Amino acid sequence: MSSATKPRISPRVLCINPGSTSTKLAVFEGDKLLFSEEARHPKDDLNACCGIQAQLPMRRMAVEQALFRHGCCTAFDAVAGRGGLLQPLPGGVYAVDDIMLDELSRNAHGEHPCNLGAPLALLFAQASGCPAYVVDPPVTDELRDIARITGLPRIRRRTVFHALSQRMAARLAAEQVGVRYEDAKFVVAHLGGGVSVGAHDRGQVVDVTNGLDGEGPMSAERAGSLPALVLVEMVQKGADPALLRREILTAGGLYAHTGTNDLREVEERFRAGEAHCGEAIQALAYGVAKSIGGMAAALFEETADGLAAVVLTGGMARSEYLAGEIARRVRFLAPVLALPQVDELLALSRGAQLALAGRETIRSYAALVKGKVE
């Protein structure tokens, strides 16, 4: 009998999180972590794939090899993948379905490695005969209406961000400062291969930078905000829009300035005397700090309640130097908490286990899309 028809007392859940530079995976039984790994993908290997969808076999193999090493290849009760770029939707747990997979395979709403979370989850779920879910997709949309308005009425801002990471970090920060997440205000900066900075107003993310649309600070490999007319002029002079888009999203930021998207290497080279590496880190810290200040302003629209905390999370938040440089610029706003230990994989597992236990509604993406069409 499959694990789907006879679940364990503590369900076993495989969690898969494809990111810009790595594929993270973990297996949980209840809240107990059986193992966790991060398969890092060299930049040259990613570039050789010629597109996100072509990375699926490489990332699938990385997960298979990790599961084999740990003797844990099948017999899961659920598989949870990081949500991809879908239509705007409420947060929660969604069953992987055909409409979701079709939109992700076409990069219908944007191209990012997180688009591989659902298909990877389904591949491994089919092997175990269990359900495949995505949890709190990055297109979770709670923006205030005023935050959608731009200087061109035909262009509206949309929300794409590290929803899973930011929410967990804000909840953990709330516990540390002794408040309820739903009663307080936070600015949260996720610092990874991509960077997003969000304004959390009593449980709602009312504004956030969207790095996939070119907003916000530069990151390990994204260019961040750029002068719009300069880009227009580059295209007018013959620049290939597809190549320019790829450069902005995957070959900008630290990578463009230093030749690597690994902050640890950039810091080592800075300490060894490469001044331009230090300048790149300073520019990254400066840009994040500016975005934090902007999101702090967004939180004072209705009341003057102070910020409970500024929260730094994501892999680059492990850097004491980078976190310190950001904190130096924004600590006047509120206490600054660096929480790099926030575990998106655990968040995925908890969402799936709540769904298995019937304590979380399993939402239908197909029904959501159909409802919008009707």
Distances, alpha carbon 317 to alpha carbons 137, 198, 297, 322, in Å: 22, 15, 23, 7
Each residue's pLDDT tens digit, 87-141 = 999 888 999 999 999 999 999 998 889 999 999 999 999 999 999 999 989 999 9
How many structural domains are present in the chain?
Answer: 2
Both structure tokens of 60:
């699938």
Each residue's pLDDT tens digit, 39-59 = 888 877 887 888 899 999 999
151 and 109 housed in the same domain? no
Mean pLDDT calculated for residue range 234-245: 96
| CATH number for 133 | 3.30.420.40
Asked, for residue 241, whether it belongs to a domain, the answer is yes
158 and 132 housed in the same domain? no
197 forms beta bridges with 189
- Cα distance between the two ends of the chain: 40
121 and 103 housed in the same domain? yes
196 and 317 housed in the same domain? yes
pTM recorded for the entire structure: 0.81
pLDDT over 70 for what percent of the chain? Answer: 96
Distance between alpha carbon 137 and the CA centroid of its chain, in Å? 9
184 and 326 housed in the same domain? yes
Asked, for residue 6, whether it belongs to a domain, the answer is no
| CA dihedral angle for residue 247, residue 250, residue 255, residue 261, rounded to 10 degrees | -170
294 and 348 housed in the same domain? no
Write the CB contacts of 184 (distance below 8 Å, at least 6 apart in sequence).
174, 177, 202, 305, 308
Asked, for residue 3, whether it belongs to a domain, the answer is no
Whether residue 8 has pLDDT greater than 80: no
Q: Which segment of 69-73, 172-176, 218-222, 224-228 scores lowest on mean pLDDT?
A: 69-73
Question: Which helix (H) or strand (E) is 33 found in, with range?
Answer: strand 32-40
Q: Is 149 helix (H, G, I), strand (E, B) or coil?
A: strand
Asked, for residue 112, whether it belongs to a domain, the answer is yes
Whether residue 237 has pLDDT greater than 60: yes
155 and 232 housed in the same domain? yes
> Which range marks the domain in which residue 330 is found?
145-338
Asked, for residue 59, whether it belongs to a domain, the answer is yes
C-alpha span between 266 and 325 (Å, rounded): 15
Asked, for residue 2, whether it belongs to a domain, the answer is no
132 and 151 housed in the same domain? no
195 and 112 housed in the same domain? no
DSSP structure string for 53-69 = GGGHHHHHHHHHHHHHH
Asked, for residue 329, whether it belongs to a domain, the answer is yes
43 and 159 housed in the same domain? no
245 and 369 housed in the same domain? no
